[in-house]
Chain A
Amino acid sequence: MRTSSIQLLSILSVAFTMLLGCASQNISLKEQRPTPRVAAVNVNAVEQNSFPHDMAFSPANESIHLVGHRTHCACSHCQSASSAAGVIPPADPSLVQMYDSQEFLRDGGDSGPAVVRLSDQTFRGLQPEDTIVHYKTETGHAEIQASNQVALYAPRFRSVRQVSGSLAGGRAVGPAQMDRPIGTVKVDQPLPGLVMRDSLELGHADVARGLDAMRERERTVPVEAVQQLNVASNVMAALVNLTAQQAYDLQGEQKALVHQFANAAVTYQLDECLEVAIQGFRTPSLVRDQRVDGFTVYDFDQGNGRLQISKFADREDARPGDVVTFGIRIENVGDGEVNEVVIVDNLTTRLEYIENSLECEADVEFESVDNQAQSLRLRWELREPLGVGESVTIQFKCSVR
């Protein structure tokens, strides 16, 4: 019995320590949760080139600026210093997500209209960038599945040139004369000043003004018609025999109840209350009443194959002239084999297929034809059915125009 009580005490102490530990850990997590850092990088620029200070170069005033960044620096030194001074405001993470789709070269997917296959075994709705796989199941269903989209960061810049006459011998660099079509007679535009620098001053500020003073009127409102009681009776008559001492006298059974309620109140006010089972007493158990909110039935035809197509590239960015290796992987994730598997990749304008760069582990029939984007439409057809769990990977190379 003594041993069991000692064990019980040890269990209690360990459990209480764990409970306190968990509680303190929660508190510390809440208190020490790192504030969104930053900031400077994410706020100031979409990209995060963090160059050390000694690489910045500004001989005139030793100010620090970074390529691809705004005026706030992103290094740890500046972050610690500025955060202590409270200079850099917290970042807006949404700015990091900004991008321009024109800077990316995309390939894959099925951009509308959806691709369909006609009875003459040709496809309609194939847009540039589309990559799809067509197959037939054992039950004769014809399916078309689009791949994911691969995006390469490959901005390309071109220019428009205009040659105009200019004044000779003067200081004007602008055109001497230009005839323009009919347009606006005069537009007031803010012309730049002689010296253009960064200005941190506020150009415009909306200030909400509050109350300067408030005078409160607390005087009572004069009552003109005061009504007096018509009949006055002695309402204290019922309390004649009741004394203050009687009100506080408790009987014996009432004392027990008050004591019980006081103990219950003390127990109720404890933050953590550990309850244990001692010698056959059952611990309070929580019975959770759960019910099903929704029920979705996925009905797959037994014996039908399903193809999963995924597309990938070996790099995330490319300059004009770079070679990118694309891969297309199809896998039968269904319950039956599929036939007439045809993979079509309609290359976009800036992708040029490199001849004889095709690598495929399966027996396929390959052909390439010109498409509407002045590139090629690549087509692979598997000569044999694709069994359950089997996969085929096709690799080919394209040069970025």
Chain B
Amino acid sequence: MSQITTLRTHLAAGLIALAFLGEGSVSGSEPADFLPRGSTRPLFKASDPPGVVGQARLMGRGPVVGYYQPVAINGPEGVRFSLPHAGNPNPSGMTAPAERLEAGFLIGAVYRFHVTHIPGAIGVELFPTVEVIDRTYPPQHLATRYPIEIQLDDEDFRTVLNGQMVTRVIYLEDPQTAVPEIQNRKTNVPLEVSEFQDPLAVADEYGRPVAIVRIGSLIPPSQPALLPEFYFGYPQWAPFPHTSASQSANHDNDPNELE
């Protein structure tokens, strides 16, 4: 009996010691230890509502307010892009569909553009958004020659048509850590991150984020009064010089329109 009592006493002392050890190990870790390391953006994420990150950039340094950053959007072969006219709440006021959408976008504003002629999904329309969150500083007369290139691929549209949402963060690649391969339509594949990672933080590690593209399956509302909200107020944009004539044509009057 005494041996059983002694054994119970030792067991209880061991459990208490284990409890203390466990307590000590838990108290040694901080919640911040589980946060991602490196140069992250703790206050702004790619999942923020459209416009938040870009508006925050306007309060930063440099001549960014009022600057029209040239942006070029490309897609798979056959895909057409168009853009609503600036400040025009007319639902039919879209530019002529083009395989390469080129425009100067204000930093901080959110632009919703129109995607049609998606391969394998005839008749399907998408209305992604693009938000320019930073600008480039090209030498003289090279701004439109070197726009921010946004390359969308089939995987983007296939994912969206399956009911999911695609968020792309475009970043200016650091030449010191560049990928050692020639960039073309095939090799320009995006870096995939999981749902639990912040693509803005990942892009910040490899370069300087300049734009966020959000592709979902949202369609325009049926009520015309809600269209300004859908198009984020039709912010001003500027066409490229060599495409101004073609883009100024109305969507309905375009003779090259296939539909």
Residues of A with Cβ closer than 8 Å to B?
43-49, 51, 55-61, 63, 65-72, 95, 98-100, 102-106, 128, 153, 155-166, 168, 171, 173-175, 178-184, 187, 189-192, 194-198, 316-317, 319-321, 348-350, 352, 373-375, 399-401
Contacts and interface: CB of A to CB of B under 8 A. Distances in A.
Interface string B47-80: 1111110011000001101111110000000000
Contact of A47 (B31, B140, B173): B140
Contacts of B67: 44-45, 68-70
B43 A189 contact: yes
Q: Considering the complex of A and B, which 8 residue pairs feature the smallest CB-CB distances, nearest first?
A: A68-B143, A60-B87, A67-B104, A195-B233, A70-B66, A192-B51, A374-B180, A161-B190
Interface stretch (B4-12, B13-21, B116-124, B240-248): B240-248
B92 interface: no
Contacts of B191: 158-161
B235 to A, nearest CB: 6
Most chain B C-beta atoms within 10 Å of own C-beta, residue among A49, A155, A374, A399 = A155
B62 to A, nearest CB: 7
Contacts of A183: 35, 42
Contact of A352 (B69, B108, B142, B182): B182
A182 to B, nearest CB: 5
Nearest to A43: B63
Highest count of chain A CB atoms <10 Å: which of B137, B141, B170, B172: B137
Contacts of A55: 239, 241, 244
Interface string B172-211: 1111101111111000101111111101101100111010
B66 A71 contact: yes
A105 B176 CA distance: 9
B232 to A, nearest CB: 6
Contact of B238 (A56, A175, A190): A56
A179 B143 contact: no
B132 interface: no
Interface of B: 31-32, 34-36, 42-44, 46-52, 55-56, 62-63, 65-70, 85-88, 93, 103-104, 106, 108-110, 136-146, 148-151, 155-156, 159, 163-176, 178-184, 188, 190-197, 199-200, 202-203, 206-208, 210, 213-214, 216-218, 221, 228-229, 232-241, 244, 247-248
Given A68-B67, A161-B191, 16 more contacts: A58-B238, A61-B87, A67-B103, A102-B172, A156-B178, A157-B173, A159-B150, A159-B169, A160-B169, A161-B199, A165-B163, A171-B218, A181-B196, A192-B51, A194-B233, A320-B183
Nearest to A166: B165
Q: Which of A68, A174, A180 has the most CB of B within 10 A?
A: A68
Contact of B180 (A46, A190, A198, A401): A401
Contact of A349 (B180, B233, B240): B180
Contacts of A181: 34-36, 196
Given A48-B140, A182-B31, A155 B172 contact: yes
Nearest to A168: B163
9 contacts: A44-B67, A59-B85, A65-B236, A67-B103, A156-B173, A174-B49, A181-B196, A189-B43, A196-B235
A401 B34 contact: no
Given A66-B238, A189-B43, A195-B228, A164 B146 contact: no
A66 B67 CA distance: 9
A164 B63 contact: no
Given A65-B104, A158-B190, A60 B145 contact: no
B145 to A, nearest CB: 7
Contacts of B167: 161-162, 164
B233 A317 contact: no
Contact of B210 (A51, A66, A157, A187): A157
A282 B4 CA distance: 132
Given A58-B86, A163-B159, A182-B31, A194 B193 contact: no
A352 B191 CA distance: 23
Given A195-B233, A350-B175, A164 B165 contact: yes
A352 to B, nearest CB: 7
B55 A166 contact: no
A57 B199 contact: no
Nearest to A165: B164
Contact of B137 (A43, A46, A352, A401): A46
Given A159-B170, A181-B35, A190-B55, A47 B85 contact: no
A58 B200 CA distance: 32
A63 B236 contact: yes
Nearest to A373: B180
Contacts of A175: 47, 165, 195
A55 B213 CA distance: 27
